[in-house]
Amino acid sequence: MIRVSHPQDFWSGLLFIAIGALAAYLGRDFAFGTMTRMGPGFLPKVLAWLMMGVGAIILLRSLVLKGEPIQASRFRPQILIVVAILLFAQMIDRVGMVPTVFVVTIVAALAAEEMRWRDTLLLAVGLSAVCTLLFIMVLGLPMRPFAWSF
């Protein structure tokens, strides 16, 4: 009988294989094409097969290497990260880049157990500035730094 020595790798390998298989299934109707004339299904299918291959390697490693058991899931960080993503989607057009990045950074930082307010506020200010410089000024994306439209 096969014995799983590293349950974390085993389940993550199965997850990679399942997501890759789902992607391959969903992209089955797209034309693959050739290497010189790639069709719309070329990249999705290649990535799906690569994902399944990585999953198989991780799964096989779980049968050989020793590892720790799976820890109990903590829901607070997961919920806060999803809330941060949803806040970004709702705020970016309404209030602009600077306040959105600031608020989203603080909400995402609340997911960490060892969050320090001083460091989080500095990170939020820095990320707001960098994102504004990069996305608005350098890349020229049609976003406003501040847009107070509710």
What is the pLDDT tens value at each position of the chain, 150 positions in all? 778 888 999 999 999 999 999 999 998 898 888 888 888 889 999 999 999 999 999 999 999 888 888 888 889 999 999 999 999 999 999 999 999 999 999 999 999 989 899 999 999 999 999 999 999 999 999 989 998 765
- Break the chain down into helix, strand, coil percent, rounded to 5: 65, 0, 35
pLDDT value, residue 65? 86
CA atoms within 13 A on the CB side of 4: 14
**Neighbour count for residue 35 (Cβ, 10 Å):** 6
Give the per-residue pLDDT at 78: 94
Q: How far is it, in rounded angstroms, from Cα 48 to Cα 27?
A: 9
As a whole number of angstroms, the distance between CA 57 and CA 49 comes to: 12
pLDDT of residue 117: 95
Q: Say how many Å lie between the first and final Cα of the chain, rounded.
A: 62
CA distance 37 to 114: 51
Report the distance separating Cα 29 and Cα 49, nearest Å.
Answer: 15
The HSE-up count of residue 144 (CA atoms within 13 Å, CB side) is 9
Q: What is the pLDDT of residue 147?
A: 86
